[in-house]
Amino acid sequence: MLRAFGGGWFALALACTLMLPWAAAAAEDAKPDPNGLAPQAVQDLPYGNVLFYFFQKDYFAAITRLLAAKQQHELDHTGPDAELLLGGLYLSLGEHVEAGRIFNALLDANAPPAVRNRAWYYLGKVWYERGYLKESESALRRVSAKTDPRIDAERTMLLAEIMMREGRYDEAVALLGAWHGPAGWTAYANLNLGVALVRENRLPDAIPFLDRVGRIDAHGEEFLALKDKANLALGFALLQAKRAAEAKTYLERVRLQGPFSAKALLGLGWADAIEGDYKSALVPWLALHDRDLLDAAVQESYLAVPYAFSKLHADGQAAKYYGSAVASFDAESKNIDASMERIRAGKMLDRLLTADKDKRISWSWQLTNLPQAPESRYLYVLLASNDFQEGLKNYRELQYMRRNLDDWRASISAFNDMLATKQEAYAERVPKADAVLASTNLDALMQKRVEFESRLDEIARSHDVAALATPEEQKTWAKLARIGAYLAAHPHDPALANMRDKYRLMKGVMYWRLAESFRARLWNERRALNELSADLKETERRVVLVRQARANIPTNSGAEAAQVAAVAARMDELQSRLKSISGQQNRYLQVLAIRALEAQKQRIATYQVQARYALAAIYDRAVNGAKNPPKASP
């Protein structure tokens, strides 16, 4: 028996977290994981975006963004870490083939032992659930024995389960017999060891192990069920060995309200019957007779009860119960036929998933509630089978992908609108851009810059301080020039002597001010000239870009439109494929369901024939007046 792991398959998400503890920056006071790696800060922003969806348990969105970031080469600092996270994400969704490829490429050489052990363990676990027993065993054997005790215990139980499913009971006995692990796992090891010994026809060796599990001090439902299963297994093993008295001791330990109570009641009745005590056998069989006919043990009780009455020479009661059994079997057979017709209508899976509120896909998902439908009562046993649960999970994931593609297909129109808006904006702006380009004589501007630079060089050579004066200073300098010209025209006029003194003073002061600031003004002019040169070069570059964009935008828009159309066509193709695969999966699960119902119907038909035959024999004895009716054993 495989333990129902405490955290369920949500442990896969935990596994990914433990495999990749450097995926998120830890708090300063966080305690280091002795079985993991030291936390590291996220250096690539897209990787942080991936982790956001990862910690929301939206693994599909995390994979999508991680693959996009890889394709765009945005994970420069987290390449190997991202690959390990990708493998863990694939594993969490049950994509064991792709996860195995990534782990094979990375784990052997690059990962620490703790990370490698956890990765191979969870990969082996998923392979086991998928039914790939050889691949599962290979992955589990790659886990080092020096690993976390809990992982080593679960790994050992899984290996034993694989061996027992393949009929290698001697190997399972050798493995479990030499194993010593945590106390919480000892009961599972003893149960598996006891079952393997029974299958090896070593009942005396199996009894101590199964008895030990059957007497454990259990409180939780998990260990109570384990205890019941051990007692049931040992009880039926003893029944097969014709040791009825011993078998009753163990069958009586099974809880009346547990999942194994029906089989235990049936076994108790047969233990009394083997000893010839048919009156005592009726007690558990009649109790079982009142339960749901869907249970195989209950169906057998419908024959066992009248059989016991017949052995007690109560032919009237035997005939009554046989008749009731025939009628019940007939009604149940008709119900099964009606259920099979409803399943063939193709709506079974949609009804099963109607109540599914969690729209994310995850390997941990399992169907827990059944819809109110006539066929639902027959699906409980079917849903307990791994094949159907895995198939239903695959169908649900296909439906998720179809919805996801529907959403993206609907958003394609938004991309088409973006392209149309881009074309409209292009058509609107091109005339304005052409007008600006036409009004801009860039060659003339470049020539003016050259002329300005030459003029500035001439000013520097001639030390023309007035050339760099401000407009106000230029006006003052011009006035002084006119005064100087007037004075030069009247050199002998004595009335102008005082004016000549003032003129020389004012011109000297003005020249001194201009000369003092000449170097600074010349430097500012050269700096402005350099800035002008840079602006003209940038303008020239932008003019080239505008002309290129004007020529390329129609071509680029056409390429983008073609790319959007190609994506839309690919989505349509994927939708078609998903629809086809979903239909195939639906039909496959219908076949499983119908096959299970047909097996149920065939078993009921067999019981019905036996009941009819026994009833006919009773009537025959009554009609012919049998003189020597069978005697009950003491």
Residue type for position 596: A
Residue with tokens 């099974």: 254
Please state which architecture CATH assigns to domain 169-291. Answer: Alpha Horseshoe (1.25)
Do 1-166 and 169-291 show the same overall fold?
yes
Domain 1-166, classified CATH 1.25.40.10, yes or no: yes
**pLDDT digit string (tens) for 262-284?**
899 999 999 989 989 989 999 99
- How confident is the model at residue 12, as a pLDDT? 34
Listed residue (136, 110, 131, 148) closest to 15, CA to CA: 148
What are the structure tokens assigned to 448, written together?
């003016």
- How confident is the model at residue 562, as a pLDDT? 80
- Would you kindly state where each structural domain of the chain is located, as residue ranges? 1-166, 169-291, 440-577
**pLDDT digit string (tens) for 22-38?**
233 333 333 444 444 45
**pLDDT digit string (tens) for 240-259?**
898 988 898 889 899 888 88
Decide: helix, strand or coil at residue 328.
helix
- In whole angstroms, what is the distance from residue 497 CA to residue 491 CA? 9
Query: Residue 496: pLDDT above 50?
Result: yes
Q: Using 50, 70 and 90 to split pLDDT, how confident is the model at 529?
A: confident
- In whole angstroms, what is the distance from residue 232 CA to residue 258 CA? 11
What are the structure tokens assigned to 105, written together?
């490429």
Decide: helix, strand or coil at residue 90.
helix
Mean pLDDT of the chain: 80
- In whole angstroms, what is the distance from residue 198 CA to residue 208 CA? 12
Angle subtended by helix axes 261-274 and 221-240, to nearest 10: 20
Who wins on pLDDT, 167 or 390? 167
What are the structure tokens assigned to 496, written together?
């102008």
Q: What are phi and psi of 393, to 5 degrees?
A: -65, -40
DSSP conformation class of 477: H
Query: Residue 338: pLDDT above 70?
Result: yes
CA angle 24, 27, 29 (to 5 degrees): 145
Neighbours of 338 (CB within 10 A): 12
Distance of CA 626 to the CA centre of its chain: 70
- In whole angstroms, what is the distance from residue 454 CA to residue 467 CA? 13
Which residues does 341 contact at the CB level (< 8 Å), separation at least 6? none
Q: The pTM is what? A: 0.64
Q: Using 50, 70 and 90 to split pLDDT, how confident is the model at 601?
A: confident
Largest CA distance in the chain: 181
Who wins on pLDDT, 239 or 9? 239
- How confident is the model at residue 32, as a pLDDT? 42
- In whole angstroms, what is the distance from residue 369 CA to residue 392 CA? 13
- Cα–Cα distance list, 42 to 92, 337, 438 (Å): 22, 59, 51
What are the structure tokens assigned to 359, written together?
């729209």
**pLDDT digit string (tens) for 82-129?**
887 888 788 777 677 787 788 777 666 566 777 778 778 878 887 887
